[in-house]
A and B are shown apart, each in its own frame.
Chain A
Amino acid sequence: MSETPAVQISSLVKDFRGSFGRGIIRAVDGVTFEIAPGEVYGLIGPNGSGKSTTMKALLGLVAPTSGKCAIFGKDSTKVDSRRDVGFLPENPYFYKHLSGEETVRFYGKLCGMRGAELRKRTEEVLDLVDLQAARRRRLGGYSKGMLQRIGLAQAMVQDPRLLILDEPTAGVDPIGSRQIRDLILTLKKRGFTVFLCSHLLEQVQEVCDRVGIIHQGVLVKEGRLDDLISIEDQTEIVLRNATPSLLEKIRNLAENEEGVEFVHTGHPRTTLERLFLRETVQKDSQEDHAPVVVSTDNENS
């Protein structure tokens, strides 16, 4: 069996009519890309560039003006295509009158689950998003980050092969945000396909295999992340406890070489996110899964 792509979007165009029928807003303009099964794909772009609209078209929530979308080969305009996909909308909001557990069960039932299967799966997803403690509380009393996490639980309830996440970490604190990132990495390891969009470029960089950059409805760049971000003609060397004289020697060595330019030297910067995490999370309570890329001259002093 040749692998059907998890997501197929071809020449998608979506026009919105302006208020009172005046003018036409082209939200998505001829977007074409595919996501292979097991891939994590990130769509990035400025506000209003058409990320959410692309996702909604893929889920059949808006009808494309032209072009086609398909999930695992099934046309998005058909209800069938929604069997194997979970969706977390941006700023999700659920029925306030339900508790966390009831919410997950409700969406599970909508997917045709029931009985022991549903009970087991509810436990699993509540564990995954770390909401066991709040499961009996009404969503009316949930914080924004908790809503985001119950949204994830809801999206994963029928164990779909594809997850579509619209800004999964918006409004979530750095710790929760990192948990969501780890969750996506876990899902990736288990072979799930994830299609996400986010404004947190560092996170996109950490989890995505491929990214697409969309600007004013047009997909301006698309490809493997490694290819997109590596600066081919530069090389980075990280040293610990280097003395100024050593640096001077290296600099001289480099500059004596034909065609080589010494670009800069300095301490590697940690990201703001990592700094925040290092300062807030108890170091001994949890081990850091984040890749360690720090040179630490300054920590000794």
Chain B
Amino acid sequence: MSTDIQQTPLFSLRRVFIIAGNTFTHLMRMKVFYFLLVFVMVAIAVNFLKLPHTAGPESVGAEELRMLKSPMIGVMKLFAIILAIVATALLIPRDLEDRTLYTILSKPVPRLDYLIGKLLGVLILIFVGLTVMTVLLDAVLYFRMQSILESWTQAADMLVLQEQWTDADRTEGRRELLSHGVTWSLQAAMFAIFLEAAIIAALALLVSTFSSSTLFTVVISSLCYFIGQFIGDGRDHWLRESRMADDQVTVIASKLIVVVFPDFRPFKAVDEVVAGQPFPPDLIGTLLISAGLYTGIYLVLSWFIFSDKEI
């Protein structure tokens, strides 16, 4: 006779990882990584883009690198967002429909573990995908930078020789050019994309716990994402206009809106990094906190709904 003094803990990291691992393999075997082929094709295509050398050498290099980065990072962002919404929206309704959920939840698996496991599986997949693409992007940028740097140095040396440029100009120009290459800011921007995807995935998870169809979840989550792109501005405007910023109701209402439509404005920093701006070092902390908070809130709400769900 087994004397069960042992309690099943409400949350077990091991079980979460088992479910996450299963979700990851599931998505892998759904061949989502064919998306990487699209990325590779874009990477190859943009490599053929060459600007006519009409402008001065000092701006050509930067422009070329930007034209390289912009579409590649665009594809990466697309990959992360689409996967965050669609994969998450697909997973739970499918388990429900196929009644796989019966067999999983009839094992000693708390529903919270199941939810976190599913979300984590999607996030791991996005993270792996983004990492692979970042490595590719870095490699392409690096080699392109080498060739650009070579011709740039020649041109700059010439300018210095002709005394159009001082030595300081050359150092400054070189620094400026290098800031368009493989930088820490770029890596930080890639991480910011991941964090943004994490928020959206958690939102899609929440929607999928009460929606009855995948399509509904996809549409609602996408809508929230797009609204979240500019909701912050609208809210600030509203607060300023109504001049009731100290009125508690308005403040609370505006905060509620932010829960439903996450404010994605800080994530716009990614676009600035593409343009060659440095990634503000303190921003990464802000983004981490914001992503953690949103994901946490959505998870708790999902759990709330899901634990009472009739399956």
Contacts and interface: CB of A to CB of B under 8 A. Distances in A.
Contact of A79 (B29, B100, B109): B109
Contacts of B104: 107, 110
Contact of A89 (B15, B99, B107): B99
A106 interface: yes
A91 B97 CA distance: 12
A98 B310 CA distance: 26
Interface in A155-213: 155, 158, 164
A83 B109 CA distance: 9
Interface stretch (B18-26, B189-197, B279-287): B18-26
Interface in B94-128: 98-100, 102-110
Contacts of B106: 59-61, 82, 85-87, 89, 164
Contacts of A262: none
B55 interface: no
Given A82-B106, A82-B108, A83-B4, A106 B22 contact: yes
Nearest to A82: B108
B7 interface: yes
Contacts of B1: 1
B311 interface: yes
B310 A84 contact: no
A111 interface: yes
Contacts of B2: 84
Interface in A45-89: 56, 59-63, 79-80, 82-87, 89
B2 to A, nearest CB: 7
Contacts of A59: 102, 105-106
Give the residue among A63, A79, A89, A92 with the most B Cβ atoms within 10 A.
A79
A115 interface: no
Contact of B15 (A82, A91, A95, A110): A110
The 5 closest A-B pairs by CB, nearest first: A87-B106, A97-B29, A89-B102, A110-B107, A93-B98
A5 to B, nearest CB: 15
B168 interface: no
Interface residues of B, number: 30
B308 interface: yes
Contacts of B105: 59-61, 82
16 contacts: A79-B10, A79-B109, A80-B4, A82-B105, A82-B106, A87-B103, A92-B103, A94-B98, A95-B22, A97-B26, A106-B22, A107-B107, A110-B15, A111-B108, A112-B14, A112-B15
A94 B103 contact: yes
Contact of A112 (B26, B29, B108): B108
Nearest to B9: A79
B191 to A, nearest CB: 29
B248 interface: no
B242 interface: no
A87 B99 CA distance: 12
B95 to A, nearest CB: 9
B103 A89 contact: yes
A267 interface: no
A84 B8 CA distance: 12
Contacts of A87: 102-103, 106
Contacts of B22: 95, 98, 106
A92 to B, nearest CB: 7
A155 B310 CA distance: 21
A59 B108 CA distance: 10
B249 interface: no
Interface string B1-40: 1101001101000110011001001100110000000000
Contacts of B109: 79, 82, 110
A80 B103 contact: no
A85 B109 CA distance: 12
Given A80-B8, A84-B2, A110-B18, A154 B310 contact: no
B271 to A, nearest CB: 37
Nearest to A166: B102
A106 B103 CA distance: 11
Contact of A62 (B19, B26, B311): B311
A62 B310 contact: yes
A293 B106 CA distance: 40
Nearest to A88: B103
A63 B310 contact: yes
Interface string B191-232: 000000000000000000000000000000000000000000
Contacts of A61: 102, 105-106, 311
A119 interface: no
Contacts of A92: 99, 102-103
Nearest to A97: B29
B100 A82 contact: no
Nearest to B310: A62
Contacts of A16: 310
Interface in B144-164: none
A110 B19 CA distance: 8
Contacts of B100: 93-95
B99 A106 contact: no
A151 interface: yes
A248 to B, nearest CB: 60
A109 interface: yes
B25 A97 contact: yes
Interface in A140-157: 151, 154-155
Contact of B107 (A1, A95, A111): A111
Given A95-B26, A107-B107, A110-B109, A83 B99 contact: no
